[in-house]
Amino acid sequence: MFEAFTNYLKSEKHYSAYTVKSYLDCVRRFLAYAGLSETDDVTGVTATDVRSWVSSMLDSKLSARTANLKITALNCYFKFLLREGLVSSNPLQKVARPKMSKRLPAFFEANSLNNMLNNSTPNNDYATQRNMMVVELLYASGMRRAELIELKTHHTFFKENIIRVRGKGDKEREIPLLPSIMKKLKNYVSLLQETFPGSEHLFVTDKGKKLYPSAVNNIVQTVLSREGFSGKKSPHMLRHSFATHLLNNGADLNSIKEVLGHSSLAATQVYTHNSFEKLKKVYQEAHPRK
């Protein structure tokens, strides 16, 4: 049944290899907790069993966010079993999810990022140029790390100033880029083809292989640390920065939603909190009655 569930996640849900692996691992961990194996009948699993599992995760200091992700994976599994007629009900329907504290997306200051990107003069070797282009493109487009990794050289349209990405659910979208960014990207592609002729992927390792998630993380960490950025540094923070800076400069929420590839406006609205915090700060500093 695990093989059928795996095919379901890949073929019907169009989840990434990382997400598929994560879901399978979560389900296996629950089954092990319940004293079951992958081949055992799970019709006897109850909501109480699931609540006990959730409690054990929270007792082990797992965050509510991580616990909810694991619940989502298990819920997907039981919904699949229900569809296949292998269980008569989904015990997750009676399980309340742990409440998560609202966290505002962390982002970099616009001036700091722009000064770095405008004034950087990287060496002309491939690795250095690639690293700067990764940071530049993540911030210029707001794309996800996984989307950047899957970019192909033929996804760049220099005449139209757009780049095509394949996002969650295998959905394609086109992201407009500034001509200045496209010029840098065009120069980078030339260096890529010169260094690794015939490369299919837009970003590759020093050995010409497709980039992988931790490599992108390391690139972002290395570039931003070298340029004096302190604290947390991640590809997703560049995505947050992109959305927050667009909103602060007057872009409408629906447009940002489309560029980010969000399926609902609710996912994009979190960025309005950052803008509201900025508004409050400006008000408190500028109001004559302070």
CB atoms closer than 10 angstroms to residue 5: 19
Q: What is the pLDDT of residue 91?
A: 94
Q: What is the pLDDT of residue 287?
A: 45
Kindly state whether residue 36 falls inside one of the protein's structural domains: yes
CATH number at residue 87: 1.10.150.130
Among 63, 94, 125, where does a domain finish?
Answer: 94
Burial category of 282 from C-beta neighbours within 10 Å (exposed 0-12, middle 13-18, buried 19 and up) = exposed
Q: What is the pLDDT of residue 103?
A: 62
Place of tokens 């960025």: 271
Name the active-site residue from 70, 201, 240, 262.
262
Kindly state whether residues 212 and 267 are assigned to the same domain.
Answer: yes
Per-residue pLDDT of the chain (290 residues; tens, 9 = 90+): 788 999 999 999 988 888 999 999 999 999 999 999 888 889 999 999 999 999 999 999 888 889 999 999 999 999 999 999 999 999 999 998 888 766 656 778 888 888 888 877 667 899 999 999 999 999 999 999 999 999 999 999 999 999 999 988 888 999 999 999 999 999 999 999 999 999 999 999 999 999 999 999 999 999 998 888 888 899 999 998 888 888 888 888 888 898 998 888 877 877 766 555 554 454 455 545 45
Q: What is the pLDDT of residue 283?
A: 45
Q: Does the annotation count 168 as an active-site position?
A: yes
Q: What is the pLDDT of residue 275?
A: 54
Kindly state whether residues 241 and 116 are assigned to the same domain.
Answer: yes
Name the active-site residue from 239, 240, 245, 257.
239
In the 8-state DSSP scheme, what is residue 11?
A: I
Kindly state whether residues 161 and 194 are assigned to the same domain.
Answer: yes
Kindly state whether residue 103 falls inside one of the protein's structural domains: no
Kindly state whether residues 188 and 270 are assigned to the same domain.
Answer: yes
Adjacent-strand bridge partners of 165 = 173
Kindly state whether residue 290 falls inside one of the protein's structural domains: no
Kindly state whether residues 13 and 89 are assigned to the same domain.
Answer: yes
Kindly state whether residue 251 falls inside one of the protein's structural domains: yes
- CA–CA separation, 101 vs 88, rounded Å? 34
- CA–CA separation, 41 vs 148, rounded Å? 41
Among 94, 128, 154, where does a domain finish?
Answer: 94
Kindly state whether residues 121 and 257 are assigned to the same domain.
Answer: yes
Q: Does the annotation count 236 as an active-site position?
A: yes
pTM of the model: 0.64
Q: Does the annotation count 28 as an active-site position?
A: no
Q: What is the pLDDT of residue 218?
A: 95
Q: How many residues are recorded in the chain?
A: 290
Name the active-site residue from 13, 155, 236, 273.
236
Name the active-site residue from 70, 130, 144, 145.
144
**H or E segment and range at residue 268:** helix 265-268
Pairing of strands 162-166, 172-176: antiparallel
Per the structure, the complete domain to which residue 59 belongs is given by: 2-94
Kindly state whether residues 168 and 72 are assigned to the same domain.
Answer: no
Kindly state whether residue 141 falls inside one of the protein's structural domains: yes
Name the active-site residue from 10, 79, 164, 168.
168
CATH number at residue 191: 1.10.443.10
Among 94, 119, 147, where does a domain finish?
Answer: 94
Q: Does the annotation count 130 as an active-site position?
A: no
Kindly state whether residues 114 and 85 are assigned to the same domain.
Answer: no
Kindly state whether residue 101 falls inside one of the protein's structural domains: no
Number of domains in the chain: 2
